[in-house]
């Protein structure tokens, strides 16, 4: 399992700050149980409709319903809405580009908030994303983590406020 954790009190402070984010607009209102896989958990949350549609368009549903475990940094519908419509339509129409972007949001293994530390983390796409802490907020590249540890039967989802684009 790939691990990435903050030291000492920073972990507790960050985890407490992020745990308080439940119920924010565009996120699941309550923690999900681990009885559903990542795709079904995202569908049930109701705030990942664009992500789920993109996963279907890219043909990644079976993969994300697979054994895993996976850690998914999941952009909300509001995060996708920040992308201009023409650009989003172009991404959705280009299966190779869409797959590259979506797999950049996935890390092999189940990485919980308590296991996070700053640094580079290799994605399923093959390149690394950067985990950092700024002002008590956990960042994944330029996206802010707004909810952690949404449990699924085959991994975990961390909710982010922007779509990650591989370099």
**Radius of gyration of the CA atoms of the chain, in A:** 15
Domain positions in the chain are 8-160
CATH H-level superfamily of 8-160: FAS1 domain (2.30.180.10)
Where do runs of H (alpha helix) occur along the chain? 8-19, 38-45, 49-58, 61-64, 77-81, 85-93, 95-103
Entry field: residues in the chain: 167
Quote the pTM value: 0.80
The pLDDT profile of the chain, 167 residues, written as one tens digit per residue, is 333 333 322 232 233 333 333 333 333 333 434 689 999 999 999 999 999 999 999 999 999 999 999 999 999 999 999 999 999 999 999 999 999 999 999 999 999 988 888 999 999 999 999 999 878 889 999 999 999 999 999 999 999 999 999 98
């Amino acid at each position: 399992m790939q691990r990435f954790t903050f030291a000492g009190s920073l972990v507790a402070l960050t985890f407490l700050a992020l745990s308080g984010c439940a119920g924010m607009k565009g996120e699941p209102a309550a923690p999900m149980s681990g009885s559903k896989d990542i795709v079904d958990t995202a569908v049930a949350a109701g705030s990942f409709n664009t992500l789920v549609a993109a996963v279907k368009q890219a043909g990644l549903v079976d993969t994300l319903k697979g054994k895993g475990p996976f850690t998914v940094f999941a952009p909300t519908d509001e995060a996708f809405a920040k992308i201009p419509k023409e650009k989003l339509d172009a991404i959705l129409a280009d299966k190779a580009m869409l797959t590259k972007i979506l797999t950049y949001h996935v890390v092999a293994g189940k990485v919980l908030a308590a296991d996070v530390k700053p640094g580079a983390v290799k994605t399923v796409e093959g390149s690394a994303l950067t985990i950092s802490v700024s002002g008590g907020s956990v960042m994944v590249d330029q996206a802010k983590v707004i909810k952690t540890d949404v449990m699924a039967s085959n991994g975990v989802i961390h909710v982010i406020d922007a779509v990650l684009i591989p370099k």
